[in-house]
Amino acid sequence: MSSKPENIALERTTTIPFEDEYLAHLLLEKRLSENTAHSYLSDLRLCLKSSAKKIDSLESLIPERLSGLFDGLAGLGFTPSTLARFLASLRSYCAYLMDTNRLPSDPCVGIRVPKQQRYRPSSLSHSDVGKLYDVLKNHIALGKKNARRDFVLIELLYGMGLRISEAIQLPLDAVRFDEEVALVQGKGNKQRIVPLGLKVIASLRDYIIAERAALAQPRCETLIVNNRGMSISRMGAWMIVRRLCLRAGLDASSISPHTFRHTFATHLIEAGADLRAVQELLGHADISTTQIYTHLDQDYLREVHQSFHPRNRG
């Protein structure tokens, strides 16, 4: 393999040099999921395509030009978080090119992007969650179609803290009722064990017996199924969440399936759960990702201080 940078055009439309090899590297060596790997490529492609300074060959990947590239992207209105994502994708790509002797040195050294504001995930209050469960219970009592399925979807998102992709792809046989756990396949094909509370177990059993058994096609392996008896789509799950939130009188425009995962973690932390335990339950590889949940709402902190500190009592 040549030790010199290879003068291969970086087309401003879609092409990335050695794209297939790089994708295989992300999937096989870095062990990223297909979604994450393609996100890296998509960000890299958009980053290079949006550059005011033409990046037309691997020889163009030099610090001076890349520094100007990010200055230009900032001027186009890309947010700090998007620029940070672009830079992470570019660094990963350049590291691969160096490892395969296609770049002599790292052109990303010293490149900085605007500092991001600390991300604070939004979550629902206990009262909001209560309103949602009241709607779900009412739907079951009224015999509404798919009421138990909708209940189980919320149980997976809030009761277990699953990502939406994990919830809709959870296989039926991954639910171990005798052990009161579910085996969840997370990002990077990493498996984790998530406990099932007694209320979640009751909801799952009820759904499997009363609804799923009559709907599911023989070849469908997922716990949650649609009206055709097959796996529910991501968009279908989003629509269910939106409809339920509207019925509960919540601001559906600000709530996504991921909001329930944030709420799951926030409520655990508020109740005094250990950060490491929450990290395991969420399947975070790095505890710094979980630490965002320690920056709780200031109103909540003020309430705790007023209620429990001895200088505020009596």
- Segment 140-160 shows an average pLDDT of 95
What's the pLDDT at 13? 44
Query: How do residues 179-214 score in pLDDT, each as one tens digit?
Result: 999 999 887 778 889 989 899 999 999 999 999 999
* Domain boundaries 126-307, CATH class: mainly alpha
Closest CA to 257 of 175, 182, 158, 172: 158
**Which helix (DSSP H) or strand (DSSP E) does residue 175 occupy?**
strand 175-176
* Domain boundaries 1-117, CATH class: mainly alpha
User: Does residue 250 have a pLDDT over 70?
Assistant: yes
The two domains 1-117 and 126-307 share their CATH topology (first three levels equal): no
Closest CA to 149 of 235, 221, 217, 244: 244
Q: Which residue has the higher pLDDT, 92 or 129?
A: 129
Least confident span in 24-28, 130-134, 172-176, 207-211: 24-28
User: Does residue 10 have a pLDDT over 80?
Assistant: no
Which residues are within 8 A (CB) of 115 and not within 5 positions of it... i.e. 6 or more apart? 80
Q: Are 232 and 225 in contact (CB under 8 A)?
A: yes
pTM: 0.61
User: Does residue 297 have a pLDDT over 60?
Assistant: no
The residues spanned by each domain of the chain are: 1-117, 126-307
What's the pLDDT at 108? 79
What's the pLDDT at 64? 67
What's the pLDDT at 313? 54
Closest CA to 176 of 154, 196, 158: 196
Residues annotated as part of the active site? 163, 187, 258, 261, 284, 293
User: Does residue 298 have a pLDDT over 80?
Assistant: no
